[in-house]
Amino acid sequence: MRGGLPGLLRVVADALVDRPHLRLEDLVAELRGSEDHVLPFGGGEDGSLTVEAWLSWSFDALSPATARTFRLVGLHFADEFSAGDVAALADTTPREAQQHLNALWSIHLIQQSSHQRYHFYGLELAYARRRFRLDHGDADRTAALRRLLEWYLHTSANAVRTLWSATETTGSAKSAVDPLTFTTARDALLWLRTERSTLAAAVREAADLGTPESWLLPLALHPHHVHVECLGEWHDGYATALRAARKAGDEHSEVTAHLALAASSRALDDDVHAERHLVRALAAARRLGLDHEESEALRELGTLHHHLGDPASGVERCEEARRVAVAAHDRAGEASSLHRLGLIRADRGEHDDAIVAFGRALRLREDLDLRIDVAATCCELGLAHLRRHEPDEAFALCERVVDTGGEHAANRTDLTRALLVLGEIEHRRGNHFKALTHLHRSLALCHPLRDKASAAHALDLLGTSFRALGQSDNANEEWQQALLLLTELDDPHAEHIRARLADLTSTRIVLSSEDTALPGPDQAPPDRSS
């Protein structure tokens, strides 16, 4: 280093000093056109340091173990890496891997992105890959990548188990690598969010290598994708899983992949393909005696049929799903089937039956300690009580959802809806400032989900609360935004918002004319004391 700059930057600076007529863009063009992006600027004949020489000098100064780690990290398919995944690549411990990363960072062969997370620049990455090709064979490459993929599989399974409690995940419990474990749901969620793009890249890498992770990894992550509503983004990953499982003859995973593809197809509004995958999953599950998967396929078909305008078939399928789950002693599946039955009953206006179904589902989920599922059922049960004009019961249930969502930090959909209910009830009670607090929190959660329907509902209620407080300008602003969203969604409630805006405008015109009119001889000025 010189002047606090990395050695590589010094090389570039020296090249520009030695060649004053060389434009920076020409230097970049030469670099891009060079093999592996490694170009000796100036040739080094006058004793100046070249990029190639600097990289080789830095590399040769490393200990053998750190040099090996540097070469192996060049195989990584992620933009960033840390001690855990590097330990899997190098077949060492996380502590030793961290020591190697510290050594590489100290001489600028890697850069630090954030706390104990690192990345390459293009030149150093190209050099690491070149050195790997020189010093290792294909067998070493395959072995390292398989260790890394296995690490991502088992760490993902641990994260999903921690985050969603009793959720089962696909994959062996034994691992030759040392995966991460998580003590809190927040830590698990943070890891899954941070590694989101890397996990997708891992599936593609596994498919190229033909390893089991190409189907086990996306299926292990599927329960998480369901809850955080990113199913559509993983449609290609599930398709990869189906092809790989079928090729490997793993029929159980093939059924699970059909179920995952059905869910992602629905998320993409492709009901035709969703039904095809569910029918195939159901037939295969029955043939293989997979009761859990049979129950899931049945209730998903029931939900789909209800969505397509056949609620009777929806109820029949969900009841059948419940019976299969009960016979198999699958209490989680029984609770899910009851929850789906409650949703269909509530949509049909059968609120008494919905409350019964949700109540039974809630008790089962509480017994199983399915924290996020408990919150989902509390939310729906609260909404059913609200529709039956029982605000106290609804308020208590939705407060519970807010408490659970705040602790868990992952259940955004149910938390959004629960806050809407709390806001509406506080408005009805005349507690408009409390209503505004709940509604603003709900609206803030809608945007990451792109949940326009909930956002429109929150904006509508905000406008109503602002008007009750006499804040017409704020009411107008919220209702205008709600109208835009409802119009985009082609929602008939848009007409109600237009009527409210028209009424608000006419009221403001009347008030304005009263303020500006001169009082007659027998008329007192308007009273402004209130």
pLDDT at 519: 38
Which domain does 156 fall in, by range?
A: 138-170+180-289
Beta bridge mates, 112: 118
One domain, residues 112 and 220: no
Based on the domain organization, do 66 and 109 belong to the same domain?
Answer: yes
Q: Give the per-residue pLDDT at 451.
A: 80
- 7-18 and 24-33 are packed helices; what angle lies between their axes, rounded to 10 degrees? 120
- Give the count of domains, the chain: 3
- 285 and 146 together in one domain: yes
DSSP-assigned states of every residue in 172-196: -S--SS-----SSHHHHHHHHHHTH
Do 25 and 76 share a domain, yes or no?
A: yes
Beta carbons within 8 Å of 29's beta carbon, 6+ residues apart:
none
- Name the nearest CA neighbour of 367 among 166, 502, 229, 190: 166
Within-domain flag for 338: no
Q: Report if residue 92 sits inside a domain.
A: yes
SS3 state at 99: helix
The answer to the question of residue 422 being in a domain is no
pLDDT at 107: 87
Q: Is the domain of 109 the same as that of 70?
A: yes
Cross-strand bridge partners of residue 52 = none
Domain contains 354: no
- Are 216 and 109 found together in one domain? no
Q: Report the alpha-carbon distance of residue 429 to residue 435 in Å, rounded.
A: 9
Residues 130 and 142 in one domain: no
Is residue 196 domain-shared with residue 132, that is, in the same domain? no
Closest CA to 476 of 169, 63, 484, 437: 484
Is 93 within a domain?
yes
CB-CB neighbours of 54 under 10 Å: 19
Q: Are residues 151 and 189 in the same domain?
A: yes
| pLDDT of amino acid 46 | 47
Classify residue 63 by burial, with Cβ atoms within 10 Å: 0-12, 13-18, 19+.
Answer: exposed
Within 8 A by CB and 6+ apart from 405, the residues are: 375, 411, 412, 414, 415, 418
**Which of the listed residues 227, 261, 289 is the one where a domain comes to its end?**
289
- Domain stops at, among 137, 161, 190: 137
Same domain, 105 and 161: no
Domain co-membership, 55 together with 147: no
d(CA 389, CA 374): 22
CATH code assigned at 452:
1.25.40
Q: Which residues contact 515 (CB under 8 A, 6 or more apart)?
A: 526
Query: Is residue 188 a part of any domain in this protein?
Result: yes
Same domain? For 94 and 26 the reply is yes
What number of residues does the chain have?
Answer: 530
Q: Taking the chain (530 residues) in consecutive chunks of 10 residues, what is each chunk's mean pLDDT?
A: 48 61 65 47 47 79 95 95 96 96 92 91 90 94 97 96 64 69 89 94 96 97 87 94 96 97 96 98 98 97 97 97 97 97 96 97 94 89 94 95 66 86 94 95 78 90 94 94 92 92 76 44 34
pTM of the entire predicted model: 0.81
Q: Give the CATH number of the domain where residue 62 resides.
A: 1.10.10.10
522: in domain? no
Structure tokens given for 38: 């490694």
The last residue of one of the domains, among 79, 114, 137, is 137
User: Which residue, among 323, 287, 329, has the nearest Cα to 302 in the 3D structure?
Assistant: 323
In a domain, residue 299? The reply is: no
CA distance 118 to 134: 24
